[in-house]
Structure formats: C-alpha cells, structure tokens
Structure 1
Amino acid sequence: MSHAANVPPRIRRSQTLALVLLVVCGVINYLDRATLAVANEYIRADLGLSLGQMGLLLSAFSWSYALCQLPVGALVDKIGPRWLLGMGLVVWSLAQAAGGLASTFSYFVIARIALGIGEAPQFPAAARVVSNWFPARSRGTPTGIYNSASPLGVALAPLLLPPLIAASSWHWAFFVTGALGLVAALVWVSLYRDPVRERMSDDERAYLEADAPGEAAPKTSFAAWCALFRHRATWGMMLGFFGSVYLNWVYLTWLPGYLRTERHMDLAYAGVAASIPFLCGFAGALIAGWTSDRVTRNAASPVTGRRKAVVASMLGMVAFTIPAALAESNVVAVACISIVIFLANASSACAWSLATVVASRSRIASLGAIQNFGGFLGGALAPVLTGYIAQGWSFVPALLTGAAIAFAGAMSYQFLVVKPIPEND
C-alpha cells in the first residue's frame, strides 16, 4: 500500500499541505542565506571588507547552524516539528532583518550567527514530517520536493534581490526577506499538524505503517541520541555530507562574486548566470527524490539503494567541477557548474532520504541533524577557505580543493554506511 495510487485521500491532502508548507519555508530559508552572497559586492564596499573577511562573514552562519544541529535534531524528535520549526522561523526572520541594520563587521557576524541558530530546525523538522506522513519506501520523492526549496531559493535570490537593492539599498533586501519569514511562521503553526493515529481509519494506519508496522515512533532520549555515535553509519554520514555540502557551499556563497571577480561578468549578466545553476539544482532535487524511490524499490535494501544514489551524485559533482574550474569559456564554465549544482542538490535530497532509512524510527530527525552537522562544518569551512585561496592565488585551486573534499565524502558514504541502526541500540 505504499504506492502513490493507494494513498488514502485524507492522508494525501495532509501530505500535500505539509510539502507545500515545507517548500515555502525552505525557499524563504535559502533566500535569507543567499541575501549576503547576492549583496556581496555592495556590503564589501560599504563596510570596507577584504575577500578574506567576506569569507569569514559568509561562514559565520554555517558555524552556528552546524553546532545547533546536534541538539535540534533530538528536540525535533522529542517536541515535534510544528512548534520547533515555528519558533525557528521567528528567530531566523528577526536575525535576517537585524542583518539589514549592520554597519560594522562584528555586528554583521553576530546577526549571521543568530540566523544560523534560527534556521537550524528547518531540515531536521522536514525529515521528521516526511517520516510522519510517508512510509519508508516512498520517502525519496517528498524528500526531494522539500529539498528542492534550497536551490529554488538560491536561484530566485539573484533574480529578485538585485532590483530591490538597486531601487533602495542592500539593507532593504534583508528587511523584506525577514518580514516574509515572520508571515511564514504564522502560516506554518496555524496549518501544520502531525498525524494522530487514534483518529485514523484502518486503511490510513496501514498505509503509514506499510514498511514498519506497529505504533507511532516513540520519543527519543538523550541516551538514545548519544548511542548513535557508536555506529559507523553515523560517522560515514557526517563525513560524507561534509564533502557534499563543502563543494555545494563553495558555489552557494561565492558564485555571484566568482562570476564578477574571476569571470569579469557585469552585474545583470552575472545575476542571470548565477540563477541558471540553481534552477538546475531545483530540478536535481526533484528528479533525485523520484529516482531514489525507484532504485530503492529494486535494491537489496532501502539503505543500499539510497546510498548508491548519494555516491553516484557526488562522484558526478567531482567530475564536472574540474572542467568548471579550468575552462576558459564562460558558457562552458556555467554549464559545468549547472551540472554540479544539479548533482549537489540530488545528492542532498538522497542523503536526507538515506537518514530516514538508516535511523531507527524514534531517531530519524536526530540522525538527519547529526549528518547535517557534519555537512555544515563543511559549509562553514568552504567560504573561508575559498576566500583565502582566491585571495592568495585564484578561484581555480579553490574549486579543485572542493572537488577533492567531495570525493573523500563519497568514499565515506560508500564504505561506512552499509546497514541500518537498530531501534534499541
């Protein structure tokens, strides 16, 4: 009963509502993250920052975001996604608006750290929502859908924000996106609810429990959370996602600046060129989710199927980053970068769906958040290391460094994530 055609109508409506809300919140989430990258040149000129300092500022978000992943996953499993994501929306939206008031480097760093804290619940909460409303072998498609919000938000940023900046100032880009998040917080808390099995029909319960019959997932505990670190799958997912997110964040944080500085594109052309790869990433997340469901249904196990999808996507990222760095043609470079970001978002969607089948039922958000912690250590390092390498040499060795780190991450997934983590271990 896990196939789409057999979804009970009331479950289908709840699934659709949940995914629409997650995508809207995710788009705003990434619009907020990308605002600094889009306004990079204006902020550097206004505050008098070097490329290295801008790299530090771009990474400030990722450090707090990564560290908060450790507690927030357990909190999502314990409290539930409705209220934790709602509170996160409020915190990150206020922090985003506060960024628009920045007049010094240190103040801006504090605002970005607060943004990372507020945004931390978004993806662990989304993983829990999907595990609540979809059976295990059908989670790839919805995971791809909510992950598609990431590249969509980044693609919209260089299209929507430059006209706003040109008409007013870079400050207003932060104020407007912050206000959008506060509206989204109200809508999310008002409309989203977790499934209540006692109020469901037999068909509805049978659908949700198709791959894991029994009662609803129990609440997690601190001891159960700590026990995850005894398994090599947990470490493989942390190290693997480090490589994936590192390379993705090289592009996410530096692509507009790279196209302007290294490729000498004018502002309007660079804005369009920076959007194209992330629109490809939007397609990548959607296609990967759908594809990983098909692969998993024919694989020896859900873990094997979803792991293969992650590794294949990451190896493709490595392969196309090399010509992206070395090509003289801007068209060839942007085309290769588009393929890389298509695969990066495919990899991310598959990695999050992998967490839902590796983790025991009570620790899905916990494991997903631990994986995301490892990823955003890479995301925090990427803009800093890229900025300093570009400042000392050029962007070419910076991109090749990212490719090497992504390859190591793919090998971590391949050889360490081989079996699921039992519920009582």
Structure 2
Amino acid sequence: MKPVVRPIRHLRWWIISLVMIGTAVNYLARSALGAAAPTLTKEWNMSTQAYSYVVASFQLAYTIVQPIAGWLLDLLGAKVGLTIFAIGWSLANMAHALATGWPMLAGFRGLLGVFEGAVIPAAMKTVSDWFPAKERSIATGWFNIGTALGSMIAPPLVIWCILEGSWRLAFVVTGGVGLVWAGLWAWFYHRPQQHPRITAAELAYIEAGQAKKPADAPAKGPGWIAIARTRKFWAIAIPRFLADPAWQTFSFWIPLYLVTVRGMDLKQIAAFAWLPFLAADLGSIFGGYLSPALMRYGGFSLLTARKLTVLTGAVLMIGPALIGLAPSAYWAIALFCVGGFAHQVLSGTLITLSADVFPDNQVATATGMAGTAAWTGGLLFSLVVGALATTVGYNPLFVALAIFDLIGAAVLFTLMREKPGPV
C-alpha cells in the first residue's frame, strides 16, 4: 500500500524558494574567490593582472557554456539537467583547494565556469514552467536574491574559514554545500504536471495564466541561429551585455578595491563587504514587484512595465558612478549598496523578459544565449579593470558602469516592440 502524499498549498512558491537557495549556493561557490583574493594574492605574490586572468578563466568558460547548458536543460528538463550541473560545480569548487599557484587555480576556475553556467537558464525554465505570466517577474525577483545572498554570505564565511583553518578549507566548505543542495533538488523537483504534491486548483491556475502553445508547434524549440535572428533576442542580449560588467565588478573586485584603495583589513571586509549584496537582494525583490505594480496602478502593458523597471535601475546606477567622490570607505560601501540594488532591479527584469517573449521550449536556450552576451561583457570589463586599475584607477571604471546601463535601457526601449500576451 502506497503512503498518502499530502498536497502542498502554493507549491510554486516552495519551488522558487528551492531555486533561490540553489542560486545562492551557486553564487557562494563563485564568490569564494573574491573573498579569498587578498590572502591568495599575498601568499602567491600574485599581481592584479594575474588575478584578472584567474577571474577571466571562469568568465570565459561560463560565457561559452551558457547556450549549451540552456539547450541541454531544454532537452533534459530542469530536474535532471540542473542536478548534473550542480554536482559538477560543487566538485569543481572543492578542487580549488588543490591549487598550488595561480595557473592551476585558473584551470579550476575554468572548470567551475563550465558547470555553473546552467543556473540562470535552469531558474528561468523553472519560472516559465511553474508561474503564470503575471507572476514571473515576482518569481524571478525572489530567486534572483540568491545571486546576492550567495555573494553576501561568501566574505564572512570564507574569511572565517581562513582565520580558523586556511583558504583551502573555504573552497571545500562552499563546494560541499552545493552537493547537499543537488541531492535536495533531485529529490523534490518535478514539473507541475508531474508533481505529486501540487493541488488541482494550483495546476489549473498556473496553466490558465500561461501562453497557449499552438497545436502545430514543434516539440523542440529552434536552434541557436534561429533565436539569434530575432529582434527580441537582441533587445535582451545587448542590455545584458552592457549591464553585467557591474555585477562582475561587485563580485570579484570589491574586496581588492577596499584593501588597496580604502585601506581596509580582512576583518573590516568581513564586517562590511556583504552589505552591497544585501542591498542587491532588496533590489531583486523591489524589481520583481515593480513591474506588476506599474501594470496594475499605472495601466502599462507587460512589456512597457518591464522596460520602465529596467530604466529605473539604470538611473539608480548613477550612485556607484560617484564612488570616487566618497570621503571614506564607509561612504564607498554605501554607494556600492546603491549599485547592488540598482543592478538587481534591472538585471532581474532583463532575465524575466526571456520567459515573457519566448515559448517555454525555448526559454532556457534563449536565456543561456543572452547570458553569454552578458558574461562576454563582464569578461571584457574584468580584463579592462585588471589592466587599468593600477594606472588610471577604479573611479573612471565605476563611471563607465552607469553609462553602460543607461545605453542598455535605451537599446531595450528601441528594439523591444509591444506584443499582446497574457498578463
């Protein structure tokens, strides 16, 4: 006799909570390096340029793999696909502890990037499967706080591991957490139509709010080239290319900036460097609710509300452009907080647009391709930071981040045409 499986009310929010935790675990792994960077650069006498190569190896692999990861996720489904990738990134992160110099570390960073590239496409595929169109930006906002949550936890956790053991322990711990989450995901996740815990009412609500697939629609979505030929793809990809340098800068360079320019020590960084990521969490939530609020109270269409939300984040990015004028390290951290909040407002909205304008059998592929554009921008800018931070300084680079996002918002308004759809 089979045990009785009790349904869970509002199961979709439990699912997105699990996605949020997985995103946090993913970003905890990648952000461990930034927190350990001051210790590693000192122990190995590693230059800023060499460190930028280590960062770039992750970014290059992550950039290349995202369309492949998205295609695999559309093929295998989020359950199997993300389980495989999560196990891979956890083991690759733990392998960092074996590094004996920056070239070996760069190799392990590249391996980490290969597996970590699946998390955002998988998250958006889950949102597309589990949420009606009108709730997608809210769901994206909630899972997207994981990107900042993982980055926020990394500095105090990694520095605690360094002070209590070594930097090698930090990578073992952050990788081990990922293995636990992978097991939880494999056990609990199913699509709505197959989940044993979903209620009939919730399933009907989800399906009623999603775009109906035409009867003659192919079982598989078009390939990468067909998606790349669409105007709507570039309306998302170009702004993401221009926006992601900000997040890469916040994730990989804040600790080094605070040490080299503002004179902070490890304990001070552990105490304060997580604050911009807390602000980013708030930005993810705010951005998720802003679009529905604009639709409900302003009467805007779905796509116009999305575009106005992106514009709001772009304008707020003027805050970190003023970091060079900050009179103290604490004011600089406050402006980093504004930047973290602003970036997540616009970034989460840009990610959500893939589910708004692409059918469900293309969402992960399109998200992965747009992610490649985003990480290409982040990779190139990290190399620029590594080459110019010690010559021209960080301040002009922070100004550039705000300019990029304002241009990205203009591109989105220009290229993204209105299209009727479920709201």
Shared fold, TM over 0.5: yes
- For structure 1, which segment, 170-179 or 19-28, has the greater mean C-alpha deviation from structure 2 after superposition? 19-28
Asked if 1 retains the 8 angstrom alpha-carbon contact of 2:276 and 2:340, the reply is: yes
Match in the other structure for 1:210: 208
Indicate the residue corresponding to 1:383 in structure 2.
382
SS, match of residue 263 in structure 2: coil
Give the Cα–Cα distance (whole angstroms) in 2 for the partners of residues 60 and 420 of structure 1.
39
Give 3-state SS (helix, strand or coil) of 2:104's partner.
Answer: helix
Matches within 5 A, 1:275-294: 275-294=274-293
Residue aligning to 1:223: 222
Partner in structure 1 of residue 325 of structure 2: 326
Q: Distance in 2 between matches of 1:383 and 1:251?
A: 11
CA distance in structure 2 between the aligned counterparts of 1:135 and 1:324, rounded to whole angstroms: 40
- TM-superposed deviation, 1:12: 4.1
Distance 1:36 1:220, change over 3 A: farther
- For the residues of structure 1 that align with 2:111 and 2:123, how far apart are their CA atoms? 21
Mapping 1:171-186, distance limit 5 Å: 171-186=168-183
Give the partner amino acid of 1:226. Answer: I
CA distance in structure 2 between the aligned counterparts of 1:388 and 1:77, rounded to whole angstroms: 38
How far the C-alpha of 1:10 sits from its partner, in A, is 4.8
- Number of aligned pairs? 413
**1:286–1:252 distance in 2 versus 1, CA, 3 Å:** same
Q: Hey, what does 1:23 align to over in structure 2?
A: 20
What letter corresponds to residue 415 of structure 1 in structure 2?
T
Verify the 8 A CA contact 2:61 2:111 in the aligned structure 1.
Answer: yes
In 2: Cα distance, 1:76 partner to 1:360 partner: 14
- Which ranges in structure 1 are unaligned for 5 or more consecutive residues? 1-8
**More deviation, 377-386/93-102:** 377-386
**Residue in 2 that maps onto 1:42:** 39
State the distance in 1 between where 2:90 and 2:377 align: 24
Q: 1:87 aligned to 56, 81, 84, which one?
A: 84
Q: Distance between the aligned counterparts of 2:50 and 2:256, measured in 1?
A: 14
Structure 1 pair 411/182, CA: closer, same or farther in 2 (3 Å)? same
Q: Residue in 2 aligned with 1:244? A: 243
User: What code does the residue aligned with 2:98 have?
Assistant: L
- 2:145 corresponds to 1:139: no
Which stretch shifts more, 298-307 or 32-41? 298-307
CA contact (8 A) 2:262 2:328 kept: no
| SS at structure 2 position matched to 1:100 | helix
Residue identity in the other structure for 1:271? A
Q: Which of 180, 184, 189 lines up with 1:187 in the alignment?
A: 184
What is the CA–CA distance in structure 1 between the aligned matches of 2:230 and 2:301, rounded to whole Å? 18
Assess, with a 3 A threshold, how the Cα gap between structure 1 residues 421 and 80 changes in structure 2: closer, same or farther: farther
TM superposition shift of 1:299: 4.6
Structure 1 residue 206 displacement after superposition? 3.3
Task: Indicate the SS of the match to 1:357.
Answer: helix
CA distance in 1, matches of 2:60, 2:382: 11
Farther-moved stretch of structure 1 (138-147 vs 196-205): 196-205
The one-letter amino acid paired with 2:340 is: I
Residue 362 of structure 1 aligns to a residue whose secondary structure is coil
Supply the distance in 2 between the matched residues of 1:185 and 1:198 (Cα, whole angstroms). Answer: 18
Partners of 1:148 and 1:282 within 8 A in 2? yes
| Closer, same or farther: CA 176–220 of 1 in aligned 2, 3 Å | farther
Q: Give ranges in structure 2 of 5+ residues lacking alignment.
A: 1-5
Contact 2:235 2:412 in 1 (8 A): yes
1:345: Cα distance to partner?
A: 1.3
Q: Distance in 2 between matches of 1:23 and 1:227?
A: 31
Q: How does 1:12-411 map to 2 (within 5 A)?
A: 12-196=9-193, 203-212=201-210, 214=212, 221=220, 223-297=222-296, 298-317=298-317, 319-411=318-410
Secondary structure of the 1:64 match is helix
Describe the superposition over 1:190-216 as per-residue Cα deviations: whole angstroms up to 9, x where unpaired.
Answer: 111112179887644431123336469
- Alpha-carbon shift at residue 177 of structure 1 (Å): 0.8
Q: What is the CA-CA distance between 1:313 and the residue it aligns to?
A: 0.7
Identity of aligned residues (%): 28
SS of 1:208 mapped into structure 2: helix
**Offset of residue 338 of structure 1:** 0.5
- Following superposition, the deviation at residue 114 of structure 1 comes to 0.8
CA displacement, residues 97-132 of structure 1 (integer Å, 9 cap, x when unaligned): 111111122211111111111111111111111111
What is the alpha-carbon distance in structure 2 between the residues aligned to residue 289 and residue 311 of structure 1?
14
